């Protein structure tokens, strides 16, 4: 405040001095200084004096900010001695922090390898060589760690070493040499259906069977159960291709009007197949861990059909299926199943598809189908991948595994219940898969597909 008073008094002094100067100028007009006044105009002197007074008044009405030390105009009621910007920051500190621009972050260097910086995996040989090359170019450790990328301690570790190669490891040496590894691999490639035990016996190796199996796995050859697939002849491939080419133009809506049919054997108690058991060592002959195979297990035969619009009827029987029995089953169940989903009375078209089992091609069955005006699709032989009812039987068998039926009567009831509960969405997806199945046969040139 004292400084403000001093500025105002200085301004008054300047105004008074300017008045005295003007009076002296008036006096000088009558004295010996007339020569000087001839050079300067009286109006110019008055303008200069007025400008000087204006500047003085402006300076005396401004004061420096207590925070940023910039001059700002003084207003009545100023208590803080701050300019407008500093006063706004004092009143709204959160807004000032939000409006402050963040410091520019340094642009990270592009990495040379696709690697996570925090990965615990070992550096490859190329990454180790890159560390040495960047260090020879004069790059610091932080730059090298960002380019690899890796931890800076990893960079220091490999810079201390003279070579990028791994040091000799301590531990058990490999039981096989490089030549033996190559011989094991070549033998497995030459004889595909072989085992590590046979390879050991044929090559006279001292390594264990587990070691030989690990050597094969290192080369990408894993032991798996071979699939049972029939080797097609050229004539059979040609028939499969003819079926796929002939029906590849069918749309999904066409396949929804096809009824798929087949037979299946369902097992109860007594049929085990391959059974896995958890037992301690030395208890292989313990009766608690052994399976008693029944020579006559409980079983029933099932004939069933379905379409993309829903399930048809199923027929459960105990006799052996032949042409005569199949004719009776078709007469009592096939047309009734079609009437469930199609308007048979108004001649809505539908087709029938079954495989080439001998009883399906018998004279009795073919004559019955012809006399009843049922159109059959010419199905190729040995083509379960083109009949989606096989997937329905597999799904039914998985649902029957949880039951152990001691009698035929119980098994018949158990089979009928899961059959009725088959979801329509599953059946619809099976029928809709036929275009993809035909295309898969075409892509495989008539050979086996993944269906």
* Mean pLDDT estimate for the chain: 81
Can you tell me whether residue 380 is helix, strand or coil?
Answer: coil
Q: pLDDT at position 284, please?
A: 86
Contact 276, 369 (CB under 8 A): no
In the chain, where are the structural domains located? 2-99, 106-165, 178-218, 234-443
pLDDT digits (tens, 9 = 90+) for 326-343: 999 999 999 899 989 888
pLDDT digits (tens, 9 = 90+) for 364-406: 999 999 998 899 998 999 999 999 999 999 999 888 877 777 8
Q: pLDDT at position 210, please?
A: 93
Contact 352, 261 (CB under 8 A): yes
- Higher pLDDT: 298 or 177? It is 177
Q: pLDDT at position 8, please?
A: 45
Average pLDDT over residues 229-237: 90
Topology classification of domain 178-218: Arc Repressor Mutant, subunit A (1.10.10)
With a cut of 70, say whether residue 282 has pLDDT above it.
Answer: yes
- Looking at the chain, the whole-number percentage of residues with pLDDT higher than 90 is 34
pTM, to two decimals: 0.56
| Residue linked to tokens 């420096």 | 64
User: How far is residue 7's CA from residue 32's CA, in Å, rounded to a whole number?
Assistant: 37
Q: pLDDT at position 11, please?
A: 44
The CATH superfamily assigned to 234-443 is Ribonuclease H-like superfamily/Ribonuclease H (3.30.420.10)
Q: pLDDT at position 54, please?
A: 62
pLDDT digits (tens, 9 = 90+) for 416-434: 888 999 999 999 999 999 9
CB atoms inside a 10 Å sphere around CB 109: 13
Beta-carbon contacts of 3 under 8 Å, excluding residues fewer than 6 positions away, are 63
Continuous H helices in 152-233 = 152-160, 178-190, 196-203, 209-218
Q: pLDDT at position 29, please?
A: 43
User: How far is residue 286's CA from residue 289's CA, in Å, rounded to a whole number?
Assistant: 6
Closest CA to 129 of 114, 144, 146: 144
Average pLDDT over residues 60-75: 74
pLDDT digits (tens, 9 = 90+) for 94-108: 555 555 544 544 444
With a cut of 80, say whether residue 251 has pLDDT above it.
Answer: yes
- Looking at the chain, the whole-number percentage of residues with pLDDT higher than 70 is 79
Average pLDDT over residues 255-277: 81
pLDDT digits (tens, 9 = 90+) for 123-176: 888 888 999 899 999 999 989 988 888 888 889 988 988 788 887 777 788 889
Q: pLDDT at position 48, please?
A: 67
Q: pLDDT at position 405, please?
A: 77
Beta-carbon contacts of 97 under 8 Å, excluding residues fewer than 6 positions away, are none
Q: pLDDT at position 273, please?
A: 62
Beta-carbon contacts of 139 under 8 Å, excluding residues fewer than 6 positions away, are 147
CB atoms inside a 10 Å sphere around CB 214: 14
Average pLDDT over residues 88-96: 68
- Higher pLDDT: 274 or 370? It is 370
User: How far is residue 33's CA from residue 26's CA, in Å, rounded to a whole number?
Assistant: 11
């Amino acid at each position: 405040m004292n400084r403000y008073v001093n500025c105002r008094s200085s301004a008054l002094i300047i105004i008074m001095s300017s008045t005295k100067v003007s009076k002296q100028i008036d006096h000088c007009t009558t004295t010996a200084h007339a020569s000087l006044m001839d050079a300067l105009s009286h109006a110019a002197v008055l303008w200069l004096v007025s400008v000087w007074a204006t500047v003085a008044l402006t300076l005396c009405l401004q004061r420096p900010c207590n925070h940023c030390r910039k001059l700002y105009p003084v207003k009545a009621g100023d208590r803080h001695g701050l300019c407008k910007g500093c006063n706004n920051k004092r009143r709204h500190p959160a807004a000032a922090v939000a409006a402050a621009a963040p410091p520019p972050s340094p642009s990270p260097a592009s990495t040379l390898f696709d690697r996570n910086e925090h990965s615990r995996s070992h550096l490859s040989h190329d990454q180790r060589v890159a560390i040495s090359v960047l260090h020879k170019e004069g790059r610091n450790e932080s730059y090298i760690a960002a380019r690899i990328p890796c931890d800076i301690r990893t960079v220091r570790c490999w810079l201390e070493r003279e070579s990028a190669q791994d040091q000799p490891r301590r531990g058990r040496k490999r039981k096989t040499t490089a030549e033996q590894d190559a011989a094991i691999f070549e033998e497995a490639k030459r004889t595909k259906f072989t085992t590590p035990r046979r390879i050991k016996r044929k090559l006279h190796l001292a390594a264990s069977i587990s070691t030989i199996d690990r050597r094969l796995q290192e080369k990408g050859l894993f032991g798996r159960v071979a699939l049972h697939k029939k080797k097609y002849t050229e004539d059979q491939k040609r028939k499969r291709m003819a079926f796929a080419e002939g029906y590849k133009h069918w749309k999904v809506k066409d396949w929804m009007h096809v009824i798929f049919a087949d037979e299946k054997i369902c097992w109860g108690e007594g049929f085990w197949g391959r059974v896995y058991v958890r037992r301690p060592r030395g208890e292989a002959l313990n009766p608690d861990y052994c399976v008693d195979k029944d020579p006559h297990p409980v079983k029933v035969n099932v004939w069933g059909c379905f379409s993309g619009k829903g399930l048809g009827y199923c027929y459960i029987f105990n006799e052996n299926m032949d042409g005569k029995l199949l004719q009776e089953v078709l007469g009592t169940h096939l047309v009734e199943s079609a009437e469930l989903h199609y308007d048979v009375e108004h001649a809505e078209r539908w087709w029938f598809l079954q495989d080439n089992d001998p009883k399906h091609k018998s004279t009795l069955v073919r004559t019955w189908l012809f006399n009843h005006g049922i159109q059959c699709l010419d199905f190729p032989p040995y083509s379960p991948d083109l009949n989606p009812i096989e997937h329905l039987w597999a799904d039914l068998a998985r649902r029957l595994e949880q039951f152990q039926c001691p009698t035929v009567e119980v098994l018949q009831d158990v089979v009928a219940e899961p059959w009725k509960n088959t979801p329509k969405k599953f059946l619809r997806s099976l029928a809709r898969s036929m275009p993809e199945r035909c295309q898969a046969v075409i892509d495989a040139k008539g050979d086996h597909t993944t269906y």
